Chains A and B, each alone.
Chain A
C-alpha cells in the first residue's frame, strides 16, 4: 500500500514556542491531505483538510491561526502549532489520498506525539 511518513515522531517543547510537523506521501501524489489529533483513549478528531496549492479547510472549533497548515506540493503538507501550550499536547496524525483511491480510503502517517511543557 501507499506510504505516508511524519516527522518528527516525537517532540517536546516549551510553552509559547511553535512546532512544525511534516507529513509526506512517499510513493504517490497526495491530492488531499488531512490532519487529525487524538487525545489518550479517545478517537481521532479531524482538524483540517488541505488540497495542494490551496488554503486548508478547518473543522469547526479548530483555530486556523493557531494550527497553520501548508500543502505546498503534492507530497508534502506541514502543520505548525503556534504558541503551543500544555493543552495542545496530543498525538497528531496526518493522512493522504491520491488519484485512484477507493471511497473513504486514506493512508495514515505514524503520528507525532507533541508534549508541551
Chain B
C-alpha cells in the first residue's frame, strides 16, 4: 500500500476554506485516494474518494493532479464542528492502513 505524508496539524478560522494536501509519491495504477474524518472518541467517517481529476460532494472536494502523486482535500467555509483529524489513504484493497492524519483545529 502506498505510503502517505500529510501535515500533522493545521489551524483555521470559521468561514475559511481549508486545503489539506497529501503526498503519495509511490501510488500504484490501481490505487484510489480516500479521505476519512475522525472526531475524538468516535470511529472515522468516509468523506470522499477519487481516482483522478476532481471529485466533489456535499461535504468536500478532492483535487488530484495528473501525476496522482498528491491530492488535496478542500473543505469550503469550515465551521467549529469541522475540528477533527483527517486521514488520507491510498490503496485498492479492502484493507485500510491509516497514517498519522492531519489534526485540523477551527477557531471562532
Contact = CB atoms under 8 A, between A and B. Distances in A.
Contacts of A77: none
A95 B43 contact: yes
B99 interface: yes
B43 A104 contact: no
B41 A49 contact: no
Contact of A107 (B42, B46, B87): B46
Given A97-B94, A103-B34, A108 B99 contact: no
Secondary structure type dominating chain A contacts: strand
A110 B46 contact: no
A106 B87 contact: no
Interface residues of A, number: 26
Given A104-B34, A104-B89, A113-B41, A46 B96 contact: yes
Contacts of B107: none
Contacts of A44: 38, 44, 98
User: Interface residue tally of chain B, by bracket?
Assistant: 20 to 34
Contacts of A43: 87, 98-101
Contacts of A104: 32, 34, 49, 89, 91-94, 96
Interface of B: 32, 34, 38, 41-46, 49, 87, 89, 91-101
User: Can you list the 8 inter-chain pairs with the closest CB atoms, starting with the nearest?
Assistant: A108-B43, A104-B34, A103-B32, A44-B98, A43-B98, A93-B43, A108-B44, A109-B43
Given A43-B100, A103-B34, A108-B44, 17 more contacts: A34-B94, A43-B87, A44-B38, A44-B98, A46-B96, A49-B95, A91-B41, A93-B43, A95-B44, A97-B94, A102-B49, A104-B91, A104-B94, A105-B49, A107-B46, A109-B43, A111-B43
13 contacts: A34-B95, A43-B100, A43-B101, A44-B98, A46-B96, A49-B95, A93-B43, A97-B94, A104-B49, A104-B93, A105-B46, A108-B43, A108-B44
